[in-house]
Amino acid sequence: MPIGKFARLDSGETGGATATDLVRRTAYNEEQLPLAFEADADVDLAAWVREHREELRADLYRHGALLFRSPTKPDFDAVVEAFSGQLVDYAGGAAIRSRVGKTTYTASEYPEDLDIRQHSEFCYSHDWPMLLFFQCDIEPKDRGQTPLTDNRALMRAIPEDIRRQFAERELLYVRGYGYNRTWQRSYETDSREEVEELCRAEGRTVEWIGDDQLRTSERRPAIARHPVTGDEVWFNYAHGFHISRMDSGIRDALSTAPDDTDEQLWPNNVFWGDGSDIDADVITVVNDIVEEHTVQFDWREGDILIVDNMLAAHGRRPFSGPRRILLKIAESYLSTIRGAQA
């Protein structure tokens, strides 16, 4: 199969562009997030990605996310392998998702009527994936977008006094397991010892409450520097973890539960690094700015989205009806740092 041609996503015309003479343009927003490519029917997308990997890497670092659209559904595994291949697993993650293959997961299975706020995967951990690969397996008919936010733009937009507080005070993430995701499912093991070993390796404090309830805490910076581009990025989930941002339905369900569920085991919360409370008004300011800088596109079946996890945050809009987005994660931050230092 020939590598084929790519077209302007907004015109539908190839203009004679071949695989070595690309024509590319986003059709969605001035921010060019994501930078989008549309393929002819005869494209071998994996082969094209492999041939142009270095150029595509540069595009990813410039824009934060790339979208590939084709008339036929591309081979997800092959495209991911062509671009990276250095896959990692999701053990210890906060999202509700299922493993559907050795290295493939569903996107979040959080209730479909709820928004998932913009976030970077594992920003609450000492290590995180640098790359996220999504494929639209079943196209949503009503909303269900995966919106994107430029984390570099957030650094410029958030007021200096708030930015300074986050930089100097850092954050303490607290997670309770049980309401929406058990520790067994989060860490993919039934062994307390394995959980404790993994948490120790990641600098995460473990506290067992009652017979079999887990609570973890972890202090992390709120701002990070991208190991390749050198850019400072807004890299935290304070506006999503903070108790003031908990969905009211979930809060009401927990507050009125028959066993009076201990707040220690509520799904998430975040504090300043020393454990003191973050004012809800600060969280509101941050959340509003995040939303102002968020853009989105409508999924089509077969779409593949590559996101630099540090340069761009992602979320999920509510939806109704069938929707299935697949996820692979790759290239850990610490491995990238070691590679850069070698």
Domain boundaries, the chain: 6-137+300-341, 153-290
pTM score, whole prediction: 0.86
Residue 54 has pLDDT above 90, yes or no: yes
Could you tell me the end-to-end alpha-carbon distance of the chain, in angstroms, rounded to an integer? Answer: 38
Asked whether the predicted pLDDT for residue 19 surpasses 50, the reply is no
Asked whether this chain's domains 6-137+300-341 and 153-290 adopt the same fold, the reply is: yes
**CATH superfamily label, 6-137+300-341:** Clavaminate synthase-like (3.60.130.10)
Give the pLDDT band of residue 16 (cuts 50, 70, 90): very low
Torsion angles phi and psi, residue 272, rounded to 5: -60, 160
DSSP state of 276: P
| DSSP string of 236-249, one letter each residue | --HHHHSGGGS-HH
Count of CB atoms situated within 10 Å of the CB of 254: 18
Q: Position of tokens 């059709």?
A: 27
pLDDT one-digit tens code per residue, 205-254 = 999 987 788 899 999 999 999 999 999 999 999 999 898 877 655 555 55
* Contact criterion met (CB below 8 Å) for 69 and 36: yes
Q: What is the pLDDT of residues 241-293, one digit of tens each?
A: 898 877 655 555 555 544 544 555 567 899 999 999 999 999 999 999 999 99
Residue 341 parent element (H or E) = helix 333-341
**In sequence order, which residues have a C-beta less than 8 Å from that of residue 81 and are 6 or more positions away?**
46
- What's the CATH superfamily of 153-290? Clavaminate synthase-like (3.60.130.10)
57 is written with which tokens? Answer: 């890497």
